[in-house]
């Protein structure tokens, strides 16, 4: 398991990937079955080679092989085993390798699960995936070699920043990357469809589960990153509108649009060209976002080694993948036939509106993120675009989206009337109205009130949707249950995911009302925040493995009853001359009590301590909602129709005409 073996395996994977690109494409063009059937085997071969290569790097990390410069720079003997393994993808080179491996897994999954795909389509999809993978593997081999050696090998590595040694951050990249890379599959399907010149209902059904799966992973990845910054950074913030965060939000928004428009393709064969463009766009955003960050163009706090030389290679790769696919789109898309017709007021119409709003949001985030470097390039002026802009520009677009989310899923296909649907939603509307009253009384600010109200509307109407589908309370309960059993799981999944959005938005709206206090107290002193009495009862010094910690004990009482005792601490690391704050969070599901200890002041005999106390209402709901969304996606995926029910394609009309 030497690094050289790893590099060899990576080269082998690259060869497999190139073969996977070229041979099936030729086969599909010539209708040569032998060449086409090579694709799944090559995809599996590529994955095995990539996995071997990845394991070599993991092995080097576990065995402390500091002759590998990547391990030397990011690991140390004293690092816990878990972080030795997860540290493999905590740096540029390793993360590219992980990226390539996930792409390999996607390819192998298409090969394994796509048994009922027409052979030409399958060959082309695998070819496109192989092509993208080959690009990454070449990038890895030429400019970001994770197996680079140094001589002589030092005895110990340089270690990893303590802030990053955290389970949340350790598993954040693989989940997020699976989201990003997962969108490569809809992308490959879109390219294959453009080559074939054919998009139909069956295509929509094949694409949708991949889009849903990628979306669910991306949702989890974004939520995990946000949660990490909440509990690690220690000032109650959870989203910064930083370019790196935006880089994950942009494909999430367009991917959400894709997931919805693919439904229209599947059910009604409409919005075909648009869906193909979204599939290309979403993957393009996934690619360019992460890589622009690595090139150093975008101003970000999350630094990777920023290297313009590497950027040129990346830009070339992006140009090839994105430019090539858009050329193909411009050339072939006009030939795609228009699909099923529908009235503006219909399920399709609502989904079109959903797409317009989501894509507008996507455009706003994209523009806000890219404006500073463009301004600087074109006019030589430097400007900043931050949280105040994004809050002001996105929330007014999001509110109508929530409003339409309520009744969109209840509209019938093709042609609908609004009134009967709205009448079915009267209970939900009533609940929303009550919620509006409560919000007016309890929340300050127009936007939080509106957001919280429409969040309740989304949750209530999602429940109504399911209730009305199973005719709850209109027919005997046993019959309703019977109906619920026969209701497709994807319907439950969609309603659950929508409710998850509502839960997240409620959390966000409530968090705008968060309270905090910064106080300087003696031991024994009590401070009041949000109806709680916070008492600093003691501070002691505790040694850690490679740090010394100042640990505070804070008792929190509510009306005299003790709620919790928390122990926030501040660690001073001996070697890196660095301090980290360990937040202490007590949650009861409805709110977080969040305590941080800061500096010590005053005489040693009677010192004072700076405390930062936060009361964060509904904070856990923000991430809990994201989890519900992802679970909704998973529930949809478990729908049998998504997996095996893929229909056989209608025969091509020209084949019929030839008879």
Partner 1 sequence: MNLGSLCRRIAMALFVAACAAGPVVAFAVDDPSEMLPDPKQEARAEAIGAQLRCLVCQNESIEDSSAGLARDLRKVVREHVASGESNRQVIDWMVARYGNFIRLSPPVTAATLLLWGMPVLALLIGLAAAFLVFRRRPQVAPLSDAERVRLDELTRGS
Partner 2 sequence: MSDELASRPSADERRAVTRRRLMMGLPLAGAGVCGIAFWKMLAGMQSGSFNPHDINAPVTGRPVPVFTLADQTPGTGFSAEDLRALSKPVLINFFASWCIPCIAEMQALLSLQKRLPIWGVAYKDKPENAAGLLKHAGNPYARIGSDREGRVAIDWGVSGVPESFLIAPGGTIVWHSAAGLDGDEVMAGLDNVLKRIGA
Residues that bind partner 2 (CB under 8 A): 273, 277, 280-281, 284, 292, 295-299, 308-309, 311-312, 315, 318-319, 322-323, 326-327, 329-330, 333-334, 337, 370, 372-374, 376-377, 380-382, 653-654, 657
Of 188-196, 294-302, 431-439, 533-541, the window that binds partner 1 (rule: CB under 8 A) is 294-302
| Residue 308's binding partner out of partner 2, partner 1, none, with CB under 5 to 8 Å set by partner kind | partner 2
Q: Which of 150, 153, 317, 375 binds partner 1 (CB under 8 A)?
A: 375
- Tell me the closest approach of the beta carbon of residue 160 to partner 1, in angstroms: 8
Contact call for residues 216 and 255 (beta carbons, < 8 A): no
| Residue 561's binding partner out of partner 2, partner 1, none, with CB under 5 to 8 Å set by partner kind | none
Instruction: Show the tokens assigned to 31.
Output: 């209708």
| Residue 277's binding partner out of partner 1, partner 2, none, with CB under 5 to 8 Å set by partner kind | partner 2
Strand 591-601 to 569-573 pairing: unpaired
* d(C-alpha 333, C-alpha 337), whole Å: 9
Q: Which of 217, 228, 329, 615 binds partner 1 (CB under 8 A)?
A: 228
Instruction: Show the tokens assigned to 521.
Output: 């107290």
Q: Which of 78, 312, 320, 392 binds partner 1 (CB under 8 A)?
A: 392
- Tell me the closest approach of the beta carbon of residue 376 to partner 2, in angstroms: 6
Instruction: Show the tokens assigned to 267.
Output: 């059910």
* d(C-alpha 477, C-alpha 186), whole Å: 41
- Tell me the closest approach of the beta carbon of residue 328 to partner 2, in angstroms: 9
Of 11 and 553, nearer to partner 1 (C-beta) is 553
Phi, psi (deg, nearest 5) at residue 596: -135, 140
* d(C-alpha 640, C-alpha 489), whole Å: 8
| Closest C-alpha to 159, from 582, 573, 581, 583 | 573
| Residue 519's binding partner out of partner 2, partner 1, none, with CB under 5 to 8 Å set by partner kind | partner 1
Q: Which of 16, 89, 206, 624 binds partner 1 (CB under 8 A)?
A: 89
When asked if residue 167 is in the footprint of partner 1 (CB under 8 A), the reply is no
Q: Which of 8, 113, 371, 436 binds partner 1 (CB under 8 A)?
A: 371
Of 18 and 550, nearer to partner 1 (C-beta) is 550
- Tell me the closest approach of the beta carbon of residue 306 to partner 2, in angstroms: 9
* d(C-alpha 310, C-alpha 639), whole Å: 43
Q: Which of 148, 196, 520, 555 binds partner 1 (CB under 8 A)?
A: 520
Binding mask 107-146 for partner 1 (x = CB under 8 A): ----------------------------------------
**Which residue is associated with the tokens 């009384």?**
441
Q: For 25-150, where are the E strands, in sequence order?
A: none
| Residue 46's binding partner out of partner 2, partner 1, none, with CB under 5 to 8 Å set by partner kind | none
**Which residue is associated with the tokens 């493999």?**
88
- Tell me the closest approach of the beta carbon of residue 431 to partner 1, in angstroms: 29
Q: Which of 20, 21, 288, 290 binds partner 1 (CB under 8 A)?
A: 290
When asked if residue 241 is in the footprint of partner 1 (CB under 8 A), the reply is yes
When asked if residue 446 is in the footprint of partner 1 (CB under 8 A), the reply is no
Residues 6+ apart with CB under 8 A from 547: 162, 571, 572, 573, 574
When asked if residue 242 is in the footprint of partner 1 (CB under 8 A), the reply is yes
Q: Which of 69, 288, 394, 453 binds partner 1 (CB under 8 A)?
A: 394
User: Is residue 595 within a helix (H) or strand (E), and if so which, with residue range?
Assistant: strand 591-601
- Tell me the closest approach of the beta carbon of residue 611 to partner 2, in angstroms: 27
| Residue 261's binding partner out of partner 1, partner 2, none, with CB under 5 to 8 Å set by partner kind | none
Instruction: Show the tokens assigned to 369.
Output: 């993120």
The two counts, helices (H) then strands (E), for the chain are 24, 10
The 8-class DSSP code of residue 149 comes to: B
- Tell me the closest approach of the beta carbon of residue 25 to partner 2, in angstroms: 21
Expressed in angstroms, the distance from the first to the final Cα of the chain is 59
* d(C-alpha 150, C-alpha 93), whole Å: 15
| Residue 322's binding partner out of partner 1, partner 2, none, with CB under 5 to 8 Å set by partner kind | partner 2
Site size for partner 1 (CB under 8 A): 97
When asked if residue 164 is in the footprint of partner 1 (CB under 8 A), the reply is yes
Q: Which residues of 502-541 are buried (b: 16+ CB within 10 A; e: fewer)?
A: bbbbbbbbbbbbbeeeebebeeeeebebbebbbbbeebee
DSSP per-residue string spanning 108-147: HHHHHHGGGS-HHHHHHHHHHHHHHHHHHHHHHHHT--TT
Phi, psi (deg, nearest 5) at residue 73: -75, -20
When asked if residue 526 is in the footprint of partner 1 (CB under 8 A), the reply is no
When asked if residue 221 is in the footprint of partner 1 (CB under 8 A), the reply is yes
**Which residue is associated with the tokens 């390539």?**
100
| Residue 462's binding partner out of partner 2, partner 1, none, with CB under 5 to 8 Å set by partner kind | none
| Closest C-alpha to 462, from 434, 502, 426, 411 | 502
Q: Which of 112, 338, 430, 481 binds partner 1 (CB under 8 A)?
A: 338
Of 492 and 624, nearer to partner 1 (C-beta) is 624
Q: Which of 109, 119, 143, 239 binds partner 1 (CB under 8 A)?
A: 239
Distances (CA, A) of 389 to 240, 386, 392, 512: 12, 6, 5, 16
Q: For 443-531, where are the E strands, in sequence order?
A: 515-521, 526-529
| Residue 329's binding partner out of partner 2, partner 1, none, with CB under 5 to 8 Å set by partner kind | partner 2
């Amino acid at each position: 398991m030497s690094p050289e073996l790893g590099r060899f395996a990576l080269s082998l994977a690259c060869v497999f990937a190139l073969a996977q690109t070229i041979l099936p494409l030729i086969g599909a063009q010539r209708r040569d079955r032998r060449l086409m059937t090579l694709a799944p085997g090559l995809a599996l071969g590529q994955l095995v080679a990539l996995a071997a290569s990845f394991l070599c790097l993991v092995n080097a990390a576990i065995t402390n092989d500091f002759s590998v410069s990547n391990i030397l720079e990011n690991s140390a003997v004293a690092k816990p085993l878990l972080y030795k393994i997860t540290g493999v993808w905590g740096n540029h080179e390793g993360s590219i390798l992980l990226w390539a491996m996930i792409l390999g897994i996607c390819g192998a999954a298409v090969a394994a699960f796509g048994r009922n795909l027409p052979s030409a389509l399958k060959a082309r999809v695998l070819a496109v995936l192989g092509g993208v993978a080959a690009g990454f593997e070449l990038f890895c081999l030429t400019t970001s070699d994770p197996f680079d050696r140094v001589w002589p090998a030092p005895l110990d590595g340089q270690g990893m920043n303590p802030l990053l040694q955290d389970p949340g951050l350790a598993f954040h990249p693989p989940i997020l990357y699976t989201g990003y890379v997962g969108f490569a599959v809809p992308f490959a399907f879109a390219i294959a469809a453009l080559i074939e010149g054919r998009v139909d209902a069956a295509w929509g059904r094949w694409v949708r589960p991949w889009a849903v799966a990628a979306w669910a992973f991306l949702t989890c990845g974004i939520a995990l990153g946000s949660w990490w910054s909440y509990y690690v950074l220690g000032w109650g913030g959870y989203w910064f509108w930083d370019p790196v965060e935006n880089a994950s939000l942009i494909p999430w928004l367009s991917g959400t649009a894709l997931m919805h428009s693919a439904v229209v393709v599947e059910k009604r064969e409409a919005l075909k060209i648009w869906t193909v463009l979204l599939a290309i766009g979403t993957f393009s955003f996934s690619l360019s976002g992460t890589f622009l960050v690595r090139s150093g163009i975008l101003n970000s706090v999350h630094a990777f080694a920023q290297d313009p030389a590497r950027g040129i290679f990346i830009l070339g790769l992006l140009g090839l993948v994105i430019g090539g696919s858009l050329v193909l789109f411009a050339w072939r898309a006009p030939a795609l036939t228009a699909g099923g017709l529908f009235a503006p007021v219909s399920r399709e119409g609502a989904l079109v509106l959903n797409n317009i709003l989501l894509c507008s949001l996507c455009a706003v985030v994209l523009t806000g993120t890219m404006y500073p470097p463009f301004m600087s390039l074109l006019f030589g002026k430097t400007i900043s675009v931050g949280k105040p802009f994004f809050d002001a520009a996105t929330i007014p677009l999001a509110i109508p989206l929530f409003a339409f989310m309520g009744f969109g899923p209840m509209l019938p296909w093709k042609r609908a009337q609004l009134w009967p649907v709205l009448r079915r939603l009267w209970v939900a509307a009533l609940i929303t109205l009550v919620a509006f009253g409560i919000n007016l009384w309890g929340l300050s600010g127009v936007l939080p009130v509106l957001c919280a109200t429409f969040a309740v509307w989304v949750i209530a109407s999602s429940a109504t949707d399911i209730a009305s589908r199973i005719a709850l309370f209109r027919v005997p309960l046993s019959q309703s249950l019977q109906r619920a059993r026969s209701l497709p799981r994807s319907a439950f999944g969609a309603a659950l995911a929508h409710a998850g959005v509502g839960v997240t938005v409620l959390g966000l709206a409530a968090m705008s009302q968060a309270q905090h206090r910064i106080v300087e107290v003696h031991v024994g002193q009590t401070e009041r925040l949000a109806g709680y009495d916070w008492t600093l009862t003691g501070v002691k010094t505790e040694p850690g493995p490679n740090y010394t910690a100042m640990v505070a004990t804070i008792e929190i009482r509510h009306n005299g009853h003790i709620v919790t005792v928390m122990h926030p601490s501040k660690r001073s690391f001996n070697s890196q001359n660095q301090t980290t704050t360990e937040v202490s969070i007590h949650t009861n599901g409805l709110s977080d009590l969040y305590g941080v200890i800061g500096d010590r002041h005053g005489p040693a005999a009677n010192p004072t301590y700076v405390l930062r106390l936060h009361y964060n209402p509904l904070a856990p709901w923000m991430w809990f909602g994201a989890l519900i969304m992802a679970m909704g996606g998973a529930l949809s995926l478990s729908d049998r129709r998504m997996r095996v029910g893929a229909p056989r394609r209608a025969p091509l009309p020209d084949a019929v005409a030839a008879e």
